[in-house]
Chains A and B, each alone.
Chain A
């Protein structure tokens, strides 16, 4: 049982919560994630450790509401507990002094990006971050990202905040303006696909953090498999970060939809039960 210490709603659909997990807080590094489960009958879902406080023994997660489990998380309160938390899982981000690092975060992808931005900054890189979302409301963690970035560029689809346009527009302007040595892209699979096509055009080595569907997170089931450079890899133990130019994003996109009908049905049932509880 891991107690919730604080909870903050960053936007209508995004919550940030810090929970007790002393061992994980001590061990975790940029790139690590945890698997959480809510309730006896809950599902196991992966979430990136956005930051941690080893002294207090807490880790911070940022969760976007997309289905049953993330909805249940967004309904939790301070003092409640998360039934199961296991980690830190996955391999850590490869951090070194590259020179100038371009980081791009789409939507809730900003949460897993944050620890990488921090680590890249602390390794002495010049860090430029592009945050992109559909609208102002969905831009999250701007302040925290700003703390470790030399420059932050905000892009919204509707122009309600920052500049209007897609993440790739913001990225390309920077690439044309100055020499970029390395890039990190995290967000929805489609965003990572187009961002990595862009950096490939400019020959900039790039990693992407893949959000495959997972069950155990320890290499036991193969639910999280993706094709990288033509070989099958397990995101939970071989990743979650991979050479973005080698990832088969189309396959990842298809696989993310692997349980869509079942998830959609479950979410509708869940929302119905919520309504009933309210009335």
Chain B
């Protein structure tokens, strides 16, 4: 079989690619400037839920695509966890064959419209682009182009629905409808398996729906992808908590021959400091679920959400950034990030930090809460903060924050969102006897097949990694789908 390098080389040598390469001199390509993503005006968008990044126009996309050198050794691909053939889809854009670009993305990535929006490209594909590595210049805007191609396809109304092999009648259960589960479902349904996706909430989509806000990833985009899976024959059963509504053992008795657990890391961490259970202090999961999934900020929806004048968000990850920007949009006068390290160590994406700064979010770095105080009704009104300084790097390679004795002071806050990480959801691990889990509660799998210690159970995404990214979850899903297929073929061969 052809290996990856040969495959890429063969595709690259196709006539149309060669012709395009020759049409503009490499030197002229590298002298082009990176096309800026049009953004909604900071003052305006901080009052609404419109998407911040508005997407490249056709002209902009084609212009940006010209910067890509179609390198003989495309290092960018090594930076992408699902190895998208990046120059190929970008050259389709240069050729103005946008449908072709979308189709080639779908060869390896089931959710390009999502990844183009939320992937941390600056540390993945774009970090390994020739421009970044060799020219020390801004990389090709791979993420923006990926989003462009996917959006173009969706708006064209002619979405490419991959072909489905004839049904083989073998039932596979996917637990959780986040990106890992959707990827497994997409790959296996194409191979002819009968797929049921079980979802605990009343809507499918996982964090893409209940976590990431509209201004970064409109729910509609996720719904389109889910509808495509439905068209391909995937069955979605919402309001179904595997381990409660039925156990894996019971589903096995109903004829499911293999399982994929993509149940995510949905258990919010708290800091366990005095006063943390006061009203007006909640996890980012609760806050974002109320606003994103339950539409709490709309008057005609029944779910309530608390509004704050001085909102403090504890943490420095994507989740913290999403929460603080949501609070600003819901009318907070002061929306603050409280983070115990500095901007340089912040795990949130650069783009998010920049957008937050533009929107007037305050960053109280090198600060850590030590206690909360409440008013006579039990609602939080003040935080006691301690200042921090950075010491030597710790095990994670980041500089360790050290509290400064005697530096405590108080800050007014009437809404506090705790965003200090999540742990794996224990429902699935607890309900399966004999399943091997790590010290942190993640499901242990072999990395190649994504198979757990229970042979018919495969797993991936945050339940295995303990909080990672959309694209890593999807990559796991694709590996698991291949693993499940091999497992079932072998099993059914030896049975017959």
Contacts and interface: CB of A to CB of B under 8 A. Distances in A.
B277 A251 contact: yes
Contact of B302 (A42, A88, A216, A254): A42
B315 to A, nearest CB: 14
B16 interface: no
Interface residues of B, number: 43
B425 A220 contact: yes
Contacts of A41: 295, 298, 300-302
A27 B427 contact: no
A219 B425 contact: yes
Nearest to B303: A43
Nearest to A267: B302
B377 interface: yes
Interface stretch (A105-113, A158-166, A192-200, A221-229): A221-229
Nearest to A252: B277
Nearest to A264: B304
A68 interface: yes
Given A89-B241, A218-B427, A220-B268, 12 more contacts: A43-B304, A87-B241, A215-B289, A216-B200, A218-B241, A225-B277, A226-B277, A232-B270, A254-B378, A257-B279, A263-B304, A269-B299
A221 B283 contact: yes
Interface residues of A, number: 40
B36 interface: no
Contacts of A104: none
Contacts of B304: 43, 259, 262-263, 266
14 contacts: A42-B302, A44-B294, A84-B238, A88-B244, A216-B289, A218-B200, A219-B426, A219-B427, A220-B268, A221-B282, A255-B277, A255-B279, A255-B378, A258-B378
A86 B279 contact: no
A58 to B, nearest CB: 16
Interface string A209-246: 00000011011111101110000100001000000000
Interface of B: 200-202, 238-241, 244-246, 266-268, 270, 272, 276-280, 282-283, 285-286, 289-290, 294-295, 298-306, 377-379, 425-427
A37 interface: yes
Interface in A72-99: 83-89
The interface residues of chain B, by DSSP majority, are classed as loop
Contact of A89 (B244, B272, B379): B244
A226 B202 CA distance: 25
Interface of A: 23-24, 27, 37, 41-44, 68-69, 83-89, 215-216, 218-223, 225-227, 232, 237, 251, 254-255, 257-259, 262-263, 266, 269
A84 B239 contact: yes
A24 B245 contact: yes
Nearest to A26: B246
A86 B272 contact: no
Given A24-B245, A225-B277, A86 B282 contact: no
Contacts of A263: 304
A262 B295 contact: no
A83 to B, nearest CB: 8
Contacts of B378: 254-255, 257-258
Nearest to B423: A219
Contacts of A42: 301-302
B245 A257 contact: no
Interface centre among B270, B280, B300, B378 (most CB of A within 10 A): B378
B306 A221 contact: no
A222 B272 CA distance: 13
Contact of A216 (B201, B270, B379, B426): B201
A215 B302 contact: no
A87 B244 contact: yes
A156 B378 CA distance: 31
